[in-house]
Amino acid sequence: QQPVQSPQAVILREGEDAVINCSSSKALYSVHWYRQKHGEAPVFLMILLKGGEQKGHEKISASFNEKKQQSSLYLTASQLSYSGTYFCGTLSGGGADGLTFGKGTHLIIQP
Amino acid sequence: DAGVIQSPRHEVTEMGQEVTLRCKPISGHDYLFWYRQTMMRGLELLIYFNNNVPIDDSGMPEDRFSAKMPNASFSTLKIQPSEPRDSAVYFCASSGQLYNEQFFGPGTRLTVL
């Protein structure tokens, strides 16, 4: 089942902060975050695993609440380069299912 | 490494024709994924392979779609016959582990007239 992302779209001024949320109705093993710029392929940002392990880029901050099956991506002091569509993908534990992506959050950073 | 390579980058075809999309994963990656992206449905996993073996094909829309991975460096996604609703961007991605970062190819933009 597809995770739900919120908000659907955000417009920020450069330097402002944003939080993007991802929630699932299924028990999760991991949450994966990707960013996609228009006309390009998705690019990896971070993986958060059940148990607290995280893999990703140092400048990206995120959290994973295993009990609530929710994850949040924190973008602080936003830069113009942060613009794009952010996707969360979820993996449920114990099975062989691949990633299920949410519909994305569109982020626009204005100067 | 050149990254994940996909061909063609653009494909325009007529309804009923066979379409074959190709992917070369990053060398050493054991997992290969095929995704389809549309405005309406977003980014959907179609099928993924582990060590050339299909593991989860539950996302393949119907029998018109088939995917193969004859060796560790090559995979194809075939649509036969193609329909206008198949128009989308098809991405191939690879990773070293299922729970690791996936590297996406540039995608193939398919238009079925």
Across the range A79-107, mean pLDDT stands at 89
**Residue-wise pLDDT tens digits, B78-108:** 999 999 999 999 999 999 988 889 999 999 9
Residues in B closer than 8 angstroms to A57, CB to CB, are none
**Residue-wise pLDDT tens digits, A8-67:** 999 999 999 999 999 999 888 999 999 999 999 999 999 999 888 888 876 789 999 999
Q: Across the A/B interface, how many CB contacts are shorter than 8 Å?
A: 51
Contact B100/B94 with Cβ under 8 angstroms?
no
Given B42, B59, B91, which is nearest A41 (Cβ)?
B91
- Tell which residue, B27, B43, B102, B46, has the closest CA to residue A85: B43
Residues in B closer than 8 angstroms to A103, CB to CB, are 42
CB contact under 8 A, A99 and B33: yes
Distance separating alpha carbons of residues A80 and A12, to the nearest angstrom: 10
Tell me whether A5 touches chain B (CB under 8 Å): no
Chain A residue with Cα closest to B107: A41
How do strand A30-36 and strand A43-49 relate by DSSP bridges? antiparallel
CB contact under 8 A, B42 and A98: no
Residues in A closer than 8 angstroms to B60, CB to CB, are none
CB contact under 8 A, B42 and A55: no
Residue A28, min C-alpha distance to chain B (Å) = 12
Distances (CA, A) of B24 to A30, A57, B7, B21: 26, 26, 9, 11
Residues (pLDDT < 70) of chain B are: 1
